[in-house]
A and B are shown apart, each in its own frame.
Chain A
Amino acid sequence: MKQGHIIATLIFIFGTYLTSAQSLDSIDNATIAYERGDYPSAIQFYESTVQAGISNGEIYYNLGNAYYENNDLAHALLNYRRAQQFLPRDLDLNTQLARIRSIRSTLQGETTNWLIRFVEVSDTIFTIKELSLFTFILWSSFFCLLMVYRLKKSWKKRLQLPLIAFLFSMLIMLLLLGTRLYVFHQMPPAIVTALTSPVMSGASIAYFEQYEVFAATEIYITEQQEEWVKFVTADDKQGWIMKKDIEWVFAE
Chain B
Amino acid sequence: MKLSELVSKIGGRILTHANKATEVDIQRIYAGDTISEILNAASNTTLLVTNMSHNLLPRIAQLMDVPAICLVNGAVPGSDTLTLAEQRGTILVISPVDLFETCGRLYLCFDGSFKPSP
Indicate whether A and B interact: no
Residues of B within 8 A of A (CB): none
Residues of A within 8 A of B (CB): none
